[in-house]
């Protein structure tokens, strides 16, 4: 299959590319890519990417920024970081990308453990992760032509503990390679409307 991985230069994205490349042709895209640059917060950028690469069999989104900070000091502008990037970026990718998927293709989005296990300073992340999963649940019953959509919900990565460890005291970190298997399950499997939890 021809698989588009957005966020391919991130920790999860790299692991997903490594896993899926064993079986599929990978198109690696990211904000920093010289070959396939894309900004998921700009619909025109998403459209330009698909115009360049043409139809694909699967789309994987391993991308999206969030705001971490105390609720008592949070501004609407800060909250919208997660809404505009991780939520609407993946929504826009789905809305545009469905037109460029072959029949029976798939879309795999990314949420995260704090959607169900909230942490201090993470109100934005909790709200956005829940919203991503809600969107996929609703989209799964409407996507045409046998197109499937699932979400991967992972715990904090082992590789990210140096940066994010203080936020996730008591959480069991998971290796990126294990998280990548959930994306493979979505791409290579047959289910839709699922949230694959890797905790």
Kindly report, residue by residue over 58-88, the tens digit of the pLDDT.
Answer: 999 999 999 999 999 999 999 999 999 999 9
Provide the pLDDT for residue 48. 98
Number of independent structural domains in the chain: 1
Provide the pLDDT for residue 118. 98
Provide the pLDDT for residue 45. 98
Provide the pLDDT for residue 140. 98
Residues of the chain with pLDDT under 50: none
Q: What is the CATH number of the domain that holds 168?
A: 3.40.50.720
Provide the pLDDT for residue 160. 96
Residues ≥6 apart with Cβ < 8 Å to 75: none
Domain holding 103, by residue range, is: 2-198
What's the predicted TM-score (pTM) here? 0.97
């Amino acid at each position: 299959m021809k698989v588009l991985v957005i966020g391919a230069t991130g920790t999860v994205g790299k692991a997903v590319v490594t896993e899926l490349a064993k079986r599929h042709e990978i198109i690696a895209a990211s904000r920093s890519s010289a070959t396939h640059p894309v900004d998921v917060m700009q619909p025109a950028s998403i459209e330009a990417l698909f115009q360049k690469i043409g139809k694909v069999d699967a789309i994987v989104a391993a991308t999206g920024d969030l705001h971490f900070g105390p609720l008592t000091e949070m501004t609407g502008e800060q909250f919208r970081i997660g809404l505009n990037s991780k939520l609407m970026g993946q929504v826009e990718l789905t809305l545009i990308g469905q037109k460029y998927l072959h029949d029976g293709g798939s879309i795999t989005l990314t949420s995260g453990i704090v959607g169900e296990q909230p942490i201090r300073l993470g109100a934005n992340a909790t709200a956005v992760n829940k919203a991503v999963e809600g969107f996929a649940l609703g989209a799964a019953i409407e996507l045409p032509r046998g197109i499937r959509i699932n979400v991967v919900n992972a715990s904090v990565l082992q590789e990210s503990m140096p940066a994010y460890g203080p936020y996730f005291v008591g959480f069991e970190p998971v290796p990126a390679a294990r998280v990548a298997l959930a994306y493979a399950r979505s791409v290579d499997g047959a289910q839709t409307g699922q949230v694959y939890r890797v905790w």
